[in-house]
Structure 1
Amino acid sequence: MGLISGVLALLFGGGRNAVRETVEIYRENAESRAERATELQSQAMTQFGREFVVPQKGLFDRVMDGVNRLPRPALALGTLGLFVAAMVDPLWFAERMQGIALVPEPLWWLLGVIVSFYFGARHQSKMQDFQRDIGAAMQRLPTVMGNIETVRVMRSDSPGVADPGPDANLIQNASRPDANPALTDWRKLRGL
C-alpha cells in the first residue's frame, strides 16, 4: 500500500497534478480558455464603450446639429407638399409652375451648385441638359404669359366660365343620349 500511495503522491502530491500538467502540453485547458475569452471580450467591450462616449456639447453645437438635419426632411416634405397643392388647387399650382419657368439660368446654376455640394456629387452632363431645358423654357416666355392669363380666366369664381355660349348643337348633343346598338338588339330579342 505504501508503494501505491508513494506513486500517487509523486503524480498528484505536493499540490501538483503531473497528469494534468502533461496533458495541458498537448491540449488546451477548456476552463482556462473560457476564462481568457471572457476577459478578452470584457476588455474589448470596455474599449468600444470608451470610443462611443460623446463629449458634452455646447448650445452652439447642438443648434448647428439641428440645422444640419433640416434640409433633407424639408426638401422631402416640400416636394410632397407640391403634390398636395397640385391636387387641392391646380390653377394656383399652374401659376406657380409657370413662374418657375421664368427663373434665370444663373440662378439655376447657383441652386445646382448648392444642392450638389450639400447632397453629394452630381453628374455634370445631366446638369447641363437640365440647363438647356431651362433655356428652352425661357424661349417660351410669351406662351407662358398667355397660359397664365388663360388659367386666370378659367377660375371657378369668374362669371360665365361654364356658359357654352350660343352653340345650340352643343346643348342638344349634351341632352340627347348616345345610341347603344347592343341595348337595341337586346330589346328586340326580349320583345320589348
Structure 2
Amino acid sequence: MGLISRLLGIGDAAQTVGSAVETVAEVFTVNKTKEELAIRAQAMASLGQYGAEFSNTNDGWFNSFINGINRLPRPIMALGTVGLFAFAMADPDGFSTRMQGLAYVPDPLWWLLGAVVSFYFGARELHYSRGATTPMIIPSVAANEPSAPTKVSAAAFPENAALSEWAALKSQAG
C-alpha cells in the first residue's frame, strides 16, 4: 500500500484531504465513536458517584444509624400510598370514614405539614448539594470564553444604516 501511494504520489495529499473531509463532516454529523465514548464516560461517572454514596465511610454507629433513618421517608411514603389504595379496596366504608375525618383538619395544620415536609426534603437536598464538588473549568473551554466587548465605530458599517446607528449609540453610551 505504501508503494502504490508513493508511485501515484497522492499519499500525503489523500491523507490531508481525508482528514479535512472528516473534520468538516463532524461539523454536520455527530461522530458516533466520540459520542459513545462520552456516553460511556458519563455512565461510569454516574456509577462512581452512586458507589461513593453507598460506600462505607466509617462515620461511626450513630451517623450510620441516622443515615439509615434518613433513607426511610421516601420508601415509607411510596408504600403508604400503595397501602392507602389497598385499604380503600379492602374496606371502602372505613376508608371513606377516615377521609371524611381528614376533611375536618384545618387548613393551617395542612400548611404546617407541607412546610415540615418541604423543609425536611429541602434541607436534605441543600446538605447534599453543598457537599458536591463543583466541576473544574477546563483550560481549553476557558480559552473559548468571549473576551471583553470591543469599541465599534459607525465607520465600520458604511453600507448598513442599522448597524451604523447601533455603533453610534454604543460609542455614545460607553
Q: Same fold (TM over 0.5)?
A: no
TM-score category (smaller protein): 0.3 to 0.5
State the structure with more CA Rg: 1
Greater relative CO (CA pairs within 8 A, separation 6+): 1
